[in-house]
Amino acid sequence: MKLIFAQGNPEPDYTSTRHNVGFAMINTLADQLGANWTNKSKFNAFIAETTINGEKVLLVKPTTFYNETGDSARNLVDFYKLNTNTDLLVIHDDLALPFGTIRVRNQGRDAGNNGIKSLNSHLGTDFHRIRIGIDNDKRQQIGDTDFVLAKFSADESKHLTTEITPHVIQLIEHFCGGTIKITSLKTDL
C-alpha cells in the first residue's frame, strides 16, 4: 500500500492558494481515477482509496491545518503499518523554489516549511516528497505568510493545470510503481 499525503489547509477559503497546491494535485488525480473522498475523522483526513499500477493507494488530504499535519500522517502510517521510506509520498508547496519547478527528494529537512517540520517531528525525515515551487516576484511585495495564502494568478493557474499537474501525476505513478527517481525539473510559464 502507498500513502500519497498532500499538504494544504482544509477550509474553503484556502482553495486555489499557493499553500494548497498539494491538495490541487491529488484532487485532479482523484477525479481522473474516479476516486471518491471520505472524511475519516479518526485520521483527521479526507481519504480517497484507489489503485495505481496495481498498488492500493490512499490519497490523503489532512483536515488539520497545514502546520499540524504530522499527527494525521503518523496515525495513518501506524494504522496501516507502512514504511515511511518506501510507502509515503508527501506533496507540498515550496517557497524556496521558483514557480514551475518540481523537485523530488527521498528525505530532507523542513527548510522553514512548518508543515514539513510537523511531518519530520512525527515521522523522521526519511520519506519521499514532491516539492512544487511557488516563488515569484510578488512574494517580495507582500511577505511570506500573505504570499502562501494568496491565490495563484490566472496565468499561474493555467500553467498548473496544463504543465505542472501532469508532471506531478506522472511522478506519483512512478512512486506507486517503485520507479521514482530523485529529480528536479522546470516547466516554463
User: Does pLDDT of 111 surpass 90?
Assistant: no
User: Does pLDDT of 189 surpass 80?
Assistant: no
- Whole-number average pLDDT of the chain: 95
Give all domains of the chain, ordered by start, each with its CATH number. 2-186 (3.40.50.1470)
Over range 89-116, report the average pLDDT.
93
pLDDT, residue 110, reads 85
Please tell me the pTM assigned to this model.
0.96
pLDDT, residue 91, reads 98
The CA distances from residue 51 to 1, 58, 83, in Å, are 9, 8, 18
Residues 152, 25: Cα–Cα separation, whole Å: 14
Catalytic residue among 19, 122, 128, 159: 19
Report long-range pairs for 165-171 (Cβ below 8 Å, ≥24 apart).
Answer: 165/24, 165/25, 165/28, 167/102, 168/25, 168/91, 168/102, 168/130, 168/132, 169/25, 169/28, 169/29, 169/32, 171/102, 171/104, 171/130
In the structure grid, which three cell numbers stand for residue 70, read together? 504530522
Contacts of 179 (CB under 8 A, 6+ apart): none
Percent of the chain predicted with pLDDT > 70 = 100
Handedness of CA 105, 108, 109, 114 (dihedral sign): positive
8 falls in which pLDDT band (50, 70, 90)?
very high
User: Does pLDDT of 103 surpass 80?
Assistant: yes
Instruction: Examine the residue annotation and report whether 19 is marked as an active-site residue of this protein.
Output: yes
- pLDDT of 32-89, one tens digit each? 999 999 999 999 999 999 999 999 999 999 999 999 999 999 999 999 999 999 999 9
User: Does pLDDT of 140 surpass 90?
Assistant: no
